[in-house]
Each structure stands twice: as structure tokens, then as C-alpha cells.
Amino acid sequence: MAHSTGGRHPYPRSARVNQILREVISDELLRISDVDEQIGLLTVTGVETTPDMRQAMVYFDSLSSEAREALEERRAQIQAAVNAQTRLKRTPKLSFMADPAVASGTAVEEIIRRQHHDDQ
């Protein structure tokens, strides 16, 4: 028996919110990177909000400790941009981390490369 969420689509609102947050945060990071070298060019790979929309994890393709610190220092500015550009009841508290899927993919590629090299 499938679990029903009461709507025709299981997660349309959260998926839309995650996509909007990803776009707004990416745009704001482009503006910030012009003045903050530590942030540099970061790629937001995704955003995942909690069901109550109070928190959002922002995933990056990579994230050095310096970039993470710079993001933490600019969190209020990024959240203010989200608040100004969205119509959410509340702005979720943002957290930042490297995307584990990207790290796993890189590790798998390295294993395949090594295997291919050993086969030759």
C-alpha cells in the first residue's frame, strides 16, 4: 500500500522550494564571489529542505574549509537574499556542505581508472 501525502504528487512543493532556493543561492553566491575571494566559484549541486521548511542543507560540488567559513560568515546575507526573492512564510536556516554524491562519484571514477590501468 502506497503512502499518501494527501495530494496528487508526493513532493511537488518541497521539490519546487529546493529548486528555487538553489537558483537564488547560486545567484547570490555569484554576487558575493566578486568581493570575497574565499568563496570563489562554487557550484550549488542541490538544496534539501526539512519537511517543516525551517532548515535547508545547501550542497556544493566541493567545499574547502576556507570557503565553508566564508559561507558561514555570509549566511545572514544569503538568507536575506532568499527572503527578499522568495515568497516563503519563513526563510530556512541554511547549512553548507560538500555533496556526498559528488565525492562518491569521484571515488568510483578513481577505482575504475585504477582497474583499467591494472588491466592493461
Residue 56 domain flag: yes
Record the pTM: 0.73
Residue 3: predicted pLDDT: 46
CATH number, position 82: 3.30.300.20
Q: Is residue 4 part of a domain?
A: no
Query: Phi and psi (nearest 5°) for 8?
Result: -75, -30
Q: Would you say 42 and 29 are in contact if contact means Cβ atoms under 8 Å apart?
A: yes
Paired with 31 in beta bridges are none
Residue-level pLDDT at 89: 87
Instruction: Provide the number of structural domains found in the chain.
Output: 1
**Does residue 76 belong to any structural domain of this protein?**
yes
In a domain, 3, yes or no: no
Could you tell me if 58 and 44 are in contact, meaning their C-beta atoms sit under 8 angstroms apart? Answer: yes
Please give the backbone phi and psi of residue 49, each rounded to the nearest 5 degrees, phi first.
Answer: -95, 150
In order of 7, 72, 87, the CA distances from 21 in angstroms are 22, 17, 11
Residue 6 lies in a domain: no
pLDDT tens, residue order, the chain (120 aa): 444 444 455 557 788 899 999 999 999 999 988 887 777 778 899 999 998 889 999 999 888 888 889 999 999 999 999 999 998 888 899 999 988 876 555 555 666 777 766 777
